[in-house]
Amino acid sequence: MKERSRAVTIIAWILQILAAAAFLSAGIPKLLGNPMMVDMFNTIGVGQWFRYVTGGIEVGSAFLLLLPGRAVFGAILLMCTMAGAILTHLLVLHTPPTGPVGLLILVAVIAWLRWDQIRVLGQANA
């Protein structure tokens, strides 16, 4: 397996730290019942349980982004979550999905940079 350059590794870690901070700051208010989050999920209309699920995914995935060898899994979970957020903004909230699109791009880059983590796990299980 080809070894990554030090610069690419540093860039990946910087992006992972930024993404983790963003998703912690988005997920924690959902879990703590911030009134703005409660109102938004009332508008979405699925129920407050979905606020907890979404917040849990965001916080849990933020921690995965910071664990060596596991960042790709956090990024993939967050890509799915941001795809859902984009659709929700467009189809339910009728607001521009600027934030979720930016975050989707960020975690997609992280997944691409850390894709080798999947191969490494696959080889360890073979």
Place of tokens 């299980």: 125
- The pTM for the full model equals 0.91
> pLDDT for 89-126, tens place per residue?
999 999 999 999 999 999 999 999 999 998 776 666 66
Tokens of residue 92, six digits: 């339910």
Would you say 93 and 51 are in contact if contact means Cβ atoms under 8 Å apart? no
Helix axes 116-125, 71-88, angle to 10 degrees: 130
pLDDT band at 1 (very low <50, low <70, confident <90, very high): very low
Residues 25 and 32: their CA atoms lie apart, in Å, by 11
Residues 20 and 110: their CA atoms lie apart, in Å, by 11
